[in-house]
Amino acid sequence: MNKFEIIRKILENAQNIKFYKDLYQNKGVQIENIRSIEDFKTIPFVSKESVMGEMLHVEDEETTFTRATSGTSGRMSIFHRSKKDREIHLDNFRTSANGYFTKDNRVMIIFPPDLSFIFSGYFSAVGCEVCFGDVYDLNYSANLINETKVDTLRTTPMIALKIGKILKRKNYKCEIINIILSGSMLSLLTRGALNDYYPEAKIIQNYGLAETGLIGWQCPEIHGTNSYHIFEDTYLYEIIDSETKKGSNSGELVISNLWVGSSSTLIRYKTGDHIEKSNKNCKRTKHGSIITFRGRYRFDVLKLKGLTLYKDLFEKALLTVTDYITDTYQLHLYEEEKNDKILPQLILKVIPKEGTDKKIGRAIVERRIMSSFMITPKYTFKDGVDKGLFLPIKVEFVDNLKTGRVKTQDIIDHRG
């Protein structure tokens, strides 16, 4: 079957899924009128909120695994996996593993149990020796790394950093050669800190979502960046401009499954991720197109006064002050009234490096960040302040930052 024939089949099956049947009926979509991929692009989008709690499979679909994630709204999202889903995910995983690890590698997985279970299946299928770290006891995990001589870590950036700190403190010899991370974007700051803790390790990012599985991978030519190859045979990738809702080179990633028999059928699913088509080329043409991840809309991309501020550019600015600050931060966004205008106020909370002078250090950090944070290719944040668009960034030195156990949120928007 070609791509369109598969899409037709998926749409026909969707008539037996109450969620899609109701949606298409309400929006007046007639599946028989969808005769090309172009027609398909008129089908309504679905969002995380709209699919939450919905069964996205045909009743007799064979479901073998169920995964839950706590949504940002506090409600749980449940996603099912059929046998076919897991076969597809495993194939994609094998592609992503190529060139990094084989059956000879010893892997430690440090995640909450449901994810550890999924990942262990993948690594076992490749033939690796697998062990589990304890996501709730990183001291134990570090000891285990030391005892078992694992060489590959599969975890999140934050946990890899914490483990690195512990390994260093305990003077353990670090034999890690691969760190495979979930987290679609790695800041230069975190990347630098990871390189310090794990000097021998290749840092490989896997781009995946709970609702889809793996959707982007890095071959050895693009590892160490925030760019990914995509799985064009298993997903239809669309990049949608937020204003025009049409295809674009930069915008929200919208994804559709390209296989029949899924327990979690996604048809034009808005991922909430901001990506760009990359003009980079990989020497191995069969690897296909490359996309660059720019951030999650809710967390990494800030809209301020008609401008889009990107977390990665902010973190570039942070690199100018690494003599004064340690490797984690939180950026809080408030609004303040000044001269009868409501203006955005950014407050950066950081842990200073030992020996940093509280007053002078803070002033230097504030000044440097504002003059090196590019808000457009030509304007710095400081230019924006001078034009009266924002209030100056305030820096607060703190003793510690409140972080979650597994995921961190670096940018916190307090505007209503």
Site string for Zn ion, 311-350 (x = CB under 5 A): ----------------------------------------
Stretch that binds Zn ion, among 24-32, 156-164, 191-199, 220-228 (CB under 5 A): 220-228
Picking from 112, 110, 135, the residue whose alpha carbon sits closest to that of residue 123 is 110
Q: How far is the CB of 218 from Zn ion (least distance, A)?
A: 8
CA distances from 316 to 166, 319, 374 (A): 26, 5, 9
User: What CA–CA distance (Å, rounded) separates 275 from 254?
Assistant: 10
Cα 126–chain centre separation: 24
Q: Considering the complex, state which of residue 290 and residue 389 has its C-beta at the smaller distance from Zn ion.
A: 290
Give 301's strand partners: 310
Q: Are 57 and 89 in contact (CB under 8 A)?
A: no
Residue 291 interacting with Zn ion (CB under 5 A): no
Contacts 24+ apart (CB under 8 A), 272-275: 272/47, 272/48, 272/296, 272/297, 272/298, 273/184, 273/209, 273/297, 274/250, 274/300, 274/301, 275/239, 275/250, 275/251
> Which of 81, 191, 287, 382 touches Zn ion (CB under 5 A)?
287
Q: How far is the CB of 234 from Zn ion (least distance, A)?
A: 17
> Which of 193, 219, 291, 346 touches Zn ion (CB under 5 A)?
219
Q: Considering the complex, state which of residue 93 and residue 381 has its C-beta at the smaller distance from Zn ion.
A: 93
254-283 positions binding Zn ion, by CB under 5 A: 282
Q: Considering the complex, state which of residue 192 and residue 220 has its C-beta at the smaller distance from Zn ion.
A: 220
Stretch that binds Zn ion, among 50-58, 172-180, 208-216, 221-229 (CB under 5 A): 221-229
Q: How far is the CB of 290 from Zn ion (least distance, A)?
A: 8
Q: How far is the CB of 213 from Zn ion (least distance, A)?
A: 20
User: What CA–CA distance (Å, rounded) separates 110 from 159?
Assistant: 8
The site for Zn ion, by CB under 5 A, has a size of 5
Q: Considering the complex, state which of residue 203 and residue 317 has its C-beta at the smaller distance from Zn ion.
A: 203
Q: Are 179 and 194 in contact (CB under 8 A)?
A: yes
Picking from 324, 341, 346, the residue whose alpha carbon sits closest to that of residue 397 is 324
For Zn ion, the binding residues (CB under 5 A) are 219, 221, 282, 284, 287
